[in-house]
Amino acid sequence: MNIGNPDKTLYSTGLNRFPSWYDPLPNWIRVPIFYFIELTEQYPTVHPISLLLYSVGLVGLGWLAFRRKAEDKYLLIWFAVVYIFFTVIPNREWRYLIPIFPVLAISGANLIISALSKAQKTWKLPQLSVSKKRLVQVAAGVLIAFTLVGFYYSMSDAYSMSKNLTYVPIQETTNYVASQLKPGENVMVLCPFNMIDANMVWFFLNEKWPVNTIVYQYPENPVDTYKPNFNMTELINECVDYNIKYLIVDQYAETYHYFGINLTFSDFNQTLMSTGRFTYEPVSFWIPPASIFVLTFS
């Protein structure tokens, strides 16, 4: 539970990411409410769940707790166990709480059905005035409208995300590399991160080109979650020891900075070229915003 990259753990506090009112709060308040904000504030334009739908689901949970039916205990325990467990661990990300989405959906739907049923029964009460009956109906209508608007925003977010998925041309790159490799020559992935690493390259190499090629990576840890320490002497020595022929490096947008430092791919590339040991192949694979370059080690 406590294993994690300290830099990543700092990201998991929400500090300097959440609204300005969040930072001054004491830690004993920030930690419990972290996921109440994280699920709706993760990205500037895309949110794991809209604030409106999230609110309906949470109010629905409150309704389940209030009415205290035996069949509701399972949903309440489900939500509480997942929420508390992933709040306790130091690395916190919205995706860890995906298991509570079904609970929010069920509790929100239950709230709406209960509200409509209550409005229907209230309308039939002869002792209530028409104005009070209308008020109950309006309240139920507002809840439904609230949910529909939240549903619309969540659908828009999902559609926006699906239209902006990044495609990294690993397969095209490995097809080229595999066709050029000689027996005993190996490959290295430079600056691995969550969209390209040694395992991905090895998979595509062996999918169509079953070879005995070994795929290494430098640095060993991904540069989008660990602060990289680029040592050109170490890199060259590894290329010699591992008989590296090709190096694969991905440039994710021109302004992408490696984790915890101000270096971009261009900065790293200048240092790389200054060694005189690396040259570019006359081919690159570019599908915005991802570009993959192939280098030869000599």
- CATH number for the domain harbouring residue 193: 3.40.190
CB atoms within 10 A of CB 20: 7
Last residue of one domain, picked from the residues 147, 163, 179: 163
Do 14 and 158 sit in the same domain of this protein?
A: yes
Number of domains in the chain: 2
- In the structure encoding, which two tokens stand for residue 278, read together? 């690396």
1 lies in some domain: no
Whether residue 143 sits in one domain with residue 36: yes
Residue-number span of the structural domain to which 17 is assigned: 6-163
Mean pLDDT of the chain: 86
Q: Are residues 207 and 118 in the same domain?
A: no
Same domain, 189 and 83: no
Inform me whether the pLDDT recorded for 254 exceeds 80.
no
Do residues 123 and 179 both lie within one domain?
Answer: no
> So what's the pLDDT on residue 198?
95
Domain end call among 142, 163, 184: 163
Name the nearest CA neighbour of 187 among 128, 140, 122, 244. Answer: 244
| Boundary (domain end) residue, out of 109, 144, 163 | 163
Residues 129, 189: one domain? Answer: no
pLDDT band at 3 (very low <50, low <70, confident <90, very high): low
CA distance 42 to 18: 9
Within this chain, do residues 215 and 186 fall inside the same structural domain, yes or no?
Answer: yes
The pLDDT tens digits of the residues spanning 205-217 come to 888 766 788 999 9
Alpha carbons 58 and 100: distance in angstroms, whole number = 11
Q: Mark whether 258 and 222 lie in a shared domain.
A: yes
Nearest to 108 by CA among 68, 138, 64, 77: 64
Cα angle for residues 259, 227, 264 (degrees, 5° grid) = 45
Same domain, 137 and 217: no
**Is the pLDDT confidence value at 129 over 80?**
no
Question: Looking at per-residue confidence, does 193 or 77 come out higher?
Answer: 77
